[in-house]
Amino acid sequence: MIDELRSVGERVIEKALGMGFDEAAALLHYREASMAKYANSEPSVIQGWRERSVNIYVAKDRRILFTGGSVQSLEDIIGMLEQLRKVAPKVSESMLYAPLPEPGEVKPLQGLVDSKVVDLVYDLSPASEALFEAANRERIDSFAGMFEAAHEYRVVMTSTGVDLAEEGTSIETYIRAFAGEGSGQWSLGSRSYNRENVERVAETAAHYAVLSRHQEDVEPGEYNIVLSPMVVGDLFNYIVRMASAASVLMGTSMFAGKKPGEKIASDAVTIYDDARETGLPGSRSFDDEGVPTRRNPVIERGVFKTLLHNTKTAAKMGAESTGNAGLLMPRAWNIVVEPGSYSFDELVEEAGNGFLVTNNWYTRLQNYVEGVFSTITRDAVLIIRDGEIAGAARKFRIADSFPRLLKNIAALGSEVHDIYWWEVRVPTRTPYILARGVKTSKHTG
Amino acid sequence: MTWDTEDLVLYAVEKGLELGASYVEARYHARRGSSLSTRNGAIIGLGSSFEEGVAVRVVYDGALGFSSTDIITREGLDNIISQAVSQARAHAELMKEKIEFSDERLGRASYKVVQKKSFDEFGHEEKARYLQDLWKTVSSSIKEARVAALVSVIGESVEEKILATSDGAFVKSYTPRVSFMYNVVVTLPSKGSVQKWLPYSAVGGYEWLDVWDPLGKLPEALKIYERILLEAKKPPLGEPVDVILGSEVVGLAVHESCGHPSEADRILGREAAQAGKSFIKPESLGQRIGSRYATVIDDPTIPGSNGFYLYDDEGVPARPRYLYKEGVINEFLHNRWTAHVFGVNSNAAARAMNFESEPIVRMSNTYMEPGDMEFEELLEDVKKGVYIKSYMEWNIDDERWSQRYGGLEAYLVEDGELKGLVRNPVLEVTTRKFYSSIDAVDKNLEFYAGTCGKGEPAQGVPVWFGGPNVRLRNIVLRVIGQ
């Protein structure tokens, strides 16, 4: 398959240069994937995909142009390239133009392919059966969720001589369990399939559902809140996406105006974007420009360290690429939060009085530059009284700002969890985290 | 023999039946488009894309299988049909209730949306000039605050579909669409910043850009944002006041708290692990949720609308759906599976984003029915209140019961008159409180564009949402940051 993709890439680059473009890059994918979706404790649909796609970057006299689509439509796409070639002189130079990078020394990553996942692409039923069995170990009413297995090849070729290929497998699964008034949800993303880890997703969801079966109303205010890895994954996805230099340029970042070296979080906080963490599905040895990836500290011991760059934003902002291309805009690959030293029980004890929020959704910002957001809890919110779990609460919102939240992080758990689901699209490895004085809100009537 | 796309779609249906499926649906789905993006008047890039493929859905022994490919050949289709059938077969024994579809009078039709001003009449050079002019006008429109960033994008696309089902549907459609969006940040160092993101999108051609008129409207909006930074005061808190919501907020509210909870698949729990469940239960039809002014319609047939279609992606003819009618839960959004479960007919709500997506229950254009009052009449007998014209932050819980809107452009209302601006008022109420508190709606119906997210993998489909200006009585407001 890689040879097939490479031959498409060679053709595209040759065609583009033949048309008179100065530079060309082709990013090609082949993906086979299957997904079982569950609802009311039964499968609702089994989906499958086989697709080949090509994304093409071309430049002419510092004008940047893109096209792409299905490989099946290659002739149409080449036709679009010809149209772009005619249009190129009519649009002005791109503010983001920088020459495509020369080939770098890429250190291949090991362990990106698991043959068990390849098998699951063709028959998901072993994973479905494992989840069904594990979810029902506790006395729940029903569960919903999904399991996806994927096998992907990606190729990057450029007119500067980059010619790289990588193969990988991944799984994504999450289960939401319901019990009485309560519910619990948990997820997992990985390059490999381990039945015990998958079963633990269903067990954790069921556990939290049962714990929140009976709920009480609580008043909004400022509380110490233990954020579960599901919640940290959601909130830190927003924060790390805002660390993309593209977000700063577009006016959608709380890092606008911040300089590396500035203290922006408590000493306890260290967040990496780590493409080289092979346990997580975003891992890769080179980015979409062919630049070798690396582990980038976004925040280290509370200090803002770097934005995420490709060569274009790096040139624009006087930095160097961090291996996070996007052909046009940089993006995060895997978020890794450095764990602390607290056991789960110690975190709850440290919280004293407050809540454990196990899941949230619908995070939205009033103002990206100021990082002002609200998000609403879903699933178990457990009440912490005198350092112990003492019941479950009905939904409320966390309505605060990211800068304030980062400064109020007081303690981190020692055990990490790999989160990847519908609301957390950049795979995130994180422990439970305690934040103090978190502002909450609730409907007034 | 030469196989064209129509033949292949029909072949896929036959092949699925041969493999033992009780229902087969095949859809060729292509989307081509381009967009030009700028930041502060400088071009970022010009992009184009073309994606096409075929999706098949089968029911085999009561289990539902879906598969898609961009390899549009007999062999490519053979592969995905086999995969859809075999994966459905492998999961059939886990099924508790077998999947069945409702019987419908299905479409055999072809339709094409006609543009008044075609894509060719507004080329990339003109688009670039338009966006550069926009920056020049906008950046000089305010004096004390500064426009820190204006990102603007003009896009165009065409969606083509050919749908066939084993029970007789055959529908072809051609739908061009244009869009414009901006994100603007206005800053004044001593006062902070105001940010507004707004998308426009509609079916048709570049005649829509004249309607949206960003060159005329955006500079005026920026003057307001500057005034928010300079003048806006704290909104009244702690006591009930009257709240007038602008149609932008009303549109979002009806999309979130009427449209989504009325999706029958959500009511049945099919999206429980993703977009969530619904406060509406199967037995909720006929129950009161609001005042007599609360009539919410979802209508895919509005000409030019962003969510326009005449047949859904299961081949069912489209029609307006009265979801809430005079304050009563009246009708759910159905596809053929939910219609079968409820023992009714589908009302054509099945939509798929692209060839990689299964058709699921979706909204199209959701709006609150306007009345016959003038806006000034809404204000007239408000002693103390707030008019929230636009928003930025919003969210709603996964059962669509607790909703929140962070006001952006908002005014104090005293003794029937608009007074000064107020900053960051928050309407945070339950769905029942929202609809029950409405005591007047004006006649000024306006629509806003959005991309509605749902499904797994997540599908974003184009929608409009809208409404008139609406008055709510006795609301306790919150404010952001407190």
Q: Which residues make up the CATH 3.30.2290.10 domain(s) of chain B? A: 5-110
Backbone dihedral angles phi then psi of residue B99, each to the nearest 5 degrees: -75, 125
CB contact under 8 A, A124 and B48: no
Per-residue pLDDT averaged across B160-186, rounded? 97
Least confident piece of the model among A25-29, B46-50, B265-269: B46-50
Does position A445 have pLDDT exceeding 70, yes or no?
yes
Supply the DSSP symbol for B268. T
Radius of gyration of chain A from its Cα atoms, rounded to whole angstroms:
23
Q: Which two tokens stand for residue A194?
A: 């381990």
What pLDDT, on the 0 to 100 scale, is given for residue A76?
82
**Of the partner residues B51, B125, B183, the one whose CB lies closest to the CB of residue A90:** B125
- Domain A2-211 architecture: 2-Layer Sandwich (3.30)
CATH placement of domain B115-158+176-225 = 3.30.160
Q: Which of B333, B271, B328 is nearest to B299 (CA)?
A: B333
What pLDDT, on the 0 to 100 scale, is given for residue A71?
83
Does position B147 have pLDDT exceeding 80, yes or no?
yes
Q: Which two tokens stand for residue A123?
A: 């028959």
Q: At what angle do helices A125-135 and B74-91 cross, to 10 degrees?
A: 30
pTM confidence score: 0.97
- The answer to whether B316 and B167 are in contact (CB under 8 A) is no
Chain B contact probe: residue of A72, A84, A329, A377 with most B CBs at under 10 A: A72
Higher-confidence position of A72 and A419: A419
Q: Which two tokens stand for residue A148?
A: 């996806």
% of residues, chain B, pLDDT over 70: 99
Is A350 strand, coil or helix? helix
**Of the partner residues A43, A372, A442, the one whose CB lies closest to the CB of residue B63:** A43
Q: Which residues make up the CATH 3.30.160 domain(s) of chain B? A: 115-158+176-225
Confidence of residue B3 (pLDDT cuts 50, 70, 90): low
- The answer to whether B391 and B407 are in contact (CB under 8 A) is yes
Is B2 strand, coil or helix? coil
- The answer to whether B5 and B72 are in contact (CB under 8 A) is yes
Q: What are the pLDDT digits (tens) for B425-477?
A: 999 999 999 999 999 999 999 999 999 999 999 999 999 999 999 999 999 99
**Roughly how many angstroms between the first and final C-alpha of chain B, as a whole number?**
71
* Torsion sign, CA atoms A124, A126, A127, A129: positive
Gap from B438 CA to chain A (nearest CA, Å) = 14
Does position B417 have pLDDT exceeding 90, yes or no?
yes
CA distance B5 to B225: 51
Q: What are the pLDDT digits (tens) for A215-255?
A: 999 999 999 999 999 999 999 999 999 999 999 999 899 99
Q: Which two tokens stand for residue A161?
A: 């001589």
Per-residue pLDDT averaged across A399-410, rounded? 98
CB-CB neighbours of A353 under 10 Å: 12
What pLDDT, on the 0 to 100 scale, is given for residue A80?
84
Confidence of residue A87 (pLDDT cuts 50, 70, 90): confident
Per-residue pLDDT averaged across B214-228, rounded? 97
What pLDDT, on the 0 to 100 scale, is given for residue B223?
97
Gap from B216 CA to chain A (nearest CA, Å) = 22
Is A36 strand, coil or helix? strand
What pLDDT, on the 0 to 100 scale, is given for residue A92?
86
Cα dihedral value B295, B301, B307, B308, nearest 10: -170
> Chain A contacts of B132, Cβ < 8 Å?
92
Tracing tokens 């895919």 back to the chain, one arrives at B300
**Roughly how many angstroms between the first and final C-alpha of chain A, as a whole number?**
59
Gap from B241 CA to chain A (nearest CA, Å) = 12
Closest CA in chain B for residue A96? B44
- The answer to whether B371 and B293 are in contact (CB under 8 A) is yes
> Chain B contacts of A175, Cβ < 8 Å?
273
Per-residue pLDDT averaged across A261-267, rounded? 98
CA distance B332 to A107: 55
Q: What are the pLDDT digits (tens) for B296-336?
A: 999 999 999 999 999 999 999 999 999 999 999 999 999 99
Q: Which two tokens stand for residue B333?
A: 């959004």
Supply the DSSP symbol for B421. E
Residue-by-residue DSSP string for B91-155: HGGG-SS----------EEEEEPPPSS-GGGS-HHHHHHHHHHHHHHHHTS-SSSEEEEEEEEEE
Q: Which of B280, B272, B471 is nearest to B377 (CA)?
A: B471
* Torsion sign, CA atoms A239, A243, A249, A250: negative
Q: Is A391 exposed, middle or buried (0-12, 13-18, 19+ CB in 10 A)?
A: middle
The domain B5-110 is placed in CATH, from the list 3.30.2290.10, 3.30.450.20, 3.20.20.70, 2.10.260.10, at: 3.30.2290.10
What pLDDT, on the 0 to 100 scale, is given for residue B482?
74
CB contact under 8 A, B193 and A367: yes
Closest CA in chain A for residue B423? A366
Chain B contact probe: residue of A38, A172, A443 with most B CBs at under 10 A: A443
CA distance A5 to A165: 9
Q: Are strands B23-39 and A142-158 parallel, antiparallel or unpaired?
A: unpaired
Q: What are the pLDDT digits (tens) for B45-103?
A: 999 889 999 999 999 999 999 999 999 999 999 999 999 999 899 989 889 999 999 99
Confidence of residue B1 (pLDDT cuts 50, 70, 90): very low
Confidence of residue B410 (pLDDT cuts 50, 70, 90): very high
Q: What are the pLDDT digits (tens) for B128-144?
A: 999 999 999 999 999 99
> Chain B contacts of A43, Cβ < 8 Å?
63-64, 91, 94-95
Cα dist from A20 to A5, A59, A156, A259, B246, whole Å: 23, 10, 21, 40, 52
Radius of gyration of chain B from its Cα atoms, rounded to whole angstroms:
24
CA distance A88 to A159: 18
Tracing tokens 């008022």 back to the chain, one arrives at B425
Q: Where are the domains of chain A?
A: 2-211, 222-441
> Chain B contacts of A128, Cβ < 8 Å?
91, 94
CB contact under 8 A, A50 and B69: yes
Q: Which two tokens stand for residue B274?
A: 């993703």
Higher-confidence position of A77 and A410: A410
- The answer to whether B255 and B298 are in contact (CB under 8 A) is no
Per-residue pLDDT averaged across A398-414, rounded? 98
Residue-by-residue DSSP string for A371-386: TEEEEEE-S-EEEEET
What pLDDT, on the 0 to 100 scale, is given for residue A326?
92
CB pairs under 8 A between A and B: 298
What pLDDT, on the 0 to 100 scale, is given for residue A77?
84
CB-CB neighbours of B19 under 10 Å: 17
> Chain A contacts of B428, Cβ < 8 Å?
397, 441-444
- The answer to whether A44 and A119 are in contact (CB under 8 A) is no
Q: Which of A232, A162, A208, A295 is nearest to A427 (CA)?
A: A232
Is A299 strand, coil or helix? strand
What number is the ipTM of this complex? 0.95
CA distance A267 to A275: 24
Angle made by CA atoms A34, A148, B307, in degrees to the nearest 5: 80
Long-range Cβ contact pairs of B195-198 (< 8 A, separation 24 or more): B195/A251, B195/A366, B195/A367, B195/A368, B195/A369, B195/B392, B196/B221, B196/B225, B196/B390, B196/B392, B196/B408, B197/B392, B198/B448
Q: What are the pLDDT digits (tens) for A201-222?
A: 999 999 999 999 999 999 999 9
CA distance B62 to B64: 7
Does position A96 have pLDDT exceeding 50, yes or no?
yes
Does position B2 have pLDDT exceeding 80, yes or no?
no
**Of the partner residues B52, B398, B482, the one whose CB lies closest to the CB of residue A70:** B52
Closest CA in chain B for residue A363? B395
